Structures are given as structure tokens and as C-alpha cells.
Amino acid sequence: MKTLFITLSLLTSTLIFAQKKEVVKSDNALKITTFHQNGTVEQQGHQLAGKNHGVWRSFDAEGNAVALGEYAQGKKVGKWLFWIDGQIVEVNYRENRIQNVSYWESQAQATAVTNF
């Protein structure tokens, strides 16, 4: 009975964690997807040599965009977009340091930029 309880506990904890994070290996990179408690995607991007690399996207529990940007070997670079309280904030990074910040009045202006 004790062995059955331990086995079920391990199986249950494995299934719970499997729903929160998914890792897919391709070549020398890992595609990482994490999930909210309700099963919607929380973050998605790649890691290279253990560091975030390439485009990363973040979403709230309802599936709305929260952040979109790019990493280069673990450092934020280039244009990042953040959706904060109905406003779009554009932050330009260079080697993980903020270069400038812009605030957008209309969500329509961000549509073209999100496809980079």
C-alpha cells in the first residue's frame, strides 16, 4: 500500500509539472513553453547554452500579449513591447540596458511591429 501511494504521488506530481512547462530540443537549442494554471501559454521562446536566445513572448492567463522581445545570449536586445494596463510601452534595449522608452496611444500602431 505504501509503495502504491508513493508511485501515485510521483505520477501525479509528474503530470502536474508536465502541464506547467514543455521543453522541446531542436539541434542545439531548446524551445521552452510555460503554462498558466488554466493551461494557457504563459511564455514561449528558445534557450541556447542555458540562456534565453531569440524571440520570447509572454501572455496573461486569458491569452493576451503581455511582452514581446528578443534575447541574444541571455541579454535583452532591440525593441521590446509591453502591454501594461491597456497601454503599449516600447522599450529599446542594448545588451540588457534600456536605451529609450516610448508609449503608444493606440494598439493599432503595434500590430505591424509584433511580427518581427
Give the model confidence (pLDDT) of 11-48 as tens digits: 333 334 445 989 899 888 899 999 999 999 999 999 99
Q: How many domains does the chain have?
A: 1
**Does 16 map to a domain?**
no
**Does 108 map to a domain?**
yes
CATH number for 64: 2.20.110
Instruction: Tell me the residue range of the domain where 54 lies.
Output: 21-115
Beta-bridge mates of residue 30: 25, 47
* pLDDT for 107: 53
**Does 12 map to a domain?**
no
**Does 78 map to a domain?**
yes
**Does 85 map to a domain?**
yes
* Sign (positive or negative) of CA dihedral 42, 48, 51, 53: negative
- What is the pTM (predicted TM-score) of this model? 0.71
**Does 13 map to a domain?**
no
**Does 67 map to a domain?**
yes
**Does 65 map to a domain?**
yes
* pLDDT for 48: 93
Give the model confidence (pLDDT) of 38-86 as tens digits: 999 999 999 999 999 999 999 999 999 999 999 999 999 999 999 988 8
Backbone angles phi, psi at 13, to 5 degrees: -65, -35
Backbone angles phi, psi at 108, to 5 degrees: -60, -30
